[in-house]
Amino acid sequence: MYFRRSYSRWRLLLAPPRTGAENMARDSALQARAARTGETVFSIYTWSHATLSLGRNQIARGHYDLDKLRAAGIDVVRRPTGGRAILHHREVTYSVTAPVEERRSLHDTYGRINDLLRAGLGALGVLAQPAIATGQAPMPGMRPCFDVPSEGELVADGSKLVGSAQWRENGALLQHGSILVDDDQSSLPVYTRAGESATSRIGAPATLRALLGRSPKAEEVAEAMFEAVRNLEDPEATELREEDVRSEALGRVPHFLDEEWTWRR
């Protein structure tokens, strides 16, 4: 049964693979667009090549071996949202940008987006549940994002499957995160400087390949997620073309290419 409980009108965007700076710039542009238009956009996208993304306030300067990253062909970008390091390679990224409603707390919007993710994953054949609090939330340090789940993040078979973070600014929110197709996250300690022994043993995350016995493409994940939006939020949700935000996004790319931003901490 369809019903509307939405912020406003929803739009759906399946973007082509882009660089880390382009992906973050587009999410940032969509956040600004949400404040102007009042529309909510659910995006699915991938990365044109492997990229290490750092959380907004993660301390990373001097902790990664840049020569190893370059030799492996891995770019580095810092996200506008918080959290810890993620290697974007064999995964699918989602983002939601929306105007902030004063009565909607971060916890509320996070939960509603989780409902969409769980419904989409369920359509793919994956049963995911929010993680239960086990103590203090992990600090944005050197431990990879997928080491252990924070409260509310989605787990499957007891391991973290989806890592998410939300940022609010100028009347709009951006929440984005990774849905792992395969496990690249366990390799992250390889790219830290010698002596980072605290990162040498990390928990293995859940992956769609392990859970389904196959690796779904971004298009299949997008179809499932977009149908969840129509079922749970807006039955009249329509497509948004990347071209509609491309110009504004490109104007924001230099910020995410700036080494002072990337290695600000």
Q: Give pLDDT tens digits for 14-54.
A: 999 999 999 999 999 999 999 999 999 999 999 999 999 99
| CATH number for 53 | 3.30.930.10
Query: Do the beta carbons of residue 253 and residue 22 sit within 8 Å?
Result: yes
Query: Given this model, what pLDDT does residue 67 score?
Result: 93
- What's the angle, vertex CA 121, arms to CA 94 and CA 142, rounded to 5? 50
Query: Given this model, what pLDDT does residue 3 score?
Result: 41
The conformational region for residue 150 under phi > 0 = left, psi -120 to 50 = alpha, else beta, is beta
Question: Residue 262: inside a domain, yes or no?
Answer: no
More confident residue, 202 or 68: 68
Range 123-152 burial, b when 16+ CB lie within 10 A, else e: bbebebebbeeeeeeeebebbbbbbbbbee
- What global pTM score does this model have? 0.89
- Options 76, 121, 145, 174, the catalytic residue: 145
Question: Residue 261: inside a domain, yes or no?
Answer: no
Q: Which domain holds residue 44?
A: 10-256
Spatial separation of the C-alpha atoms in residues 113 and 94, rounded to whole Å: 10
Binned at pLDDT 50, 70 and 90, residue 197 comes out as low
Q: What is the mean pLDDT of residues 62-90?
A: 94
Query: Given this model, what pLDDT does residue 151 score?
Result: 61
- Residue 53's nearest CA partner among 15, 71, 27 is 27
Question: Residue 152: inside a domain, yes or no?
Answer: yes
**pLDDT of residue 190 exceeding 50:** yes
Question: Residue 5: inside a domain, yes or no?
Answer: no
Helix (H) or strand (E) holding 54: strand 51-54
Q: What is the mean pLDDT of residues 69-95?
A: 95
Question: Residue 91: inside a domain, yes or no?
Answer: yes
| Domains of the chain: total | 1
Spatial separation of the C-alpha atoms in residues 155 and 39, rounded to whole Å: 29
Question: Residue 264: inside a domain, yes or no?
Answer: no
* pLDDT mean across residues, the chain: 88
Binned at pLDDT 50, 70 and 90, residue 195 comes out as very low
Question: Residue 263: inside a domain, yes or no?
Answer: no
**pLDDT of residue 121 exceeding 80:** yes
Q: What are the backbone angles phi and psi of residue 100, rounded to the nearest 5°?
A: -85, 125
Q: What are the backbone angles phi and psi of residue 69, rounded to the nearest 5°?
A: -65, -45
Question: Residue 4: inside a domain, yes or no?
Answer: no
Q: What is the mean pLDDT of residues 136-142?
A: 52
**pLDDT of residue 148 exceeding 80:** no
Q: Check if 145 is active-site.
A: yes
Point out the least confidently predicted range of 117-121, 183-187, 237-241, 256-260.
183-187
Q: What is the mean pLDDT of residues 215-226?
A: 97
Query: Given this model, what pLDDT does residue 205 score?
Result: 86
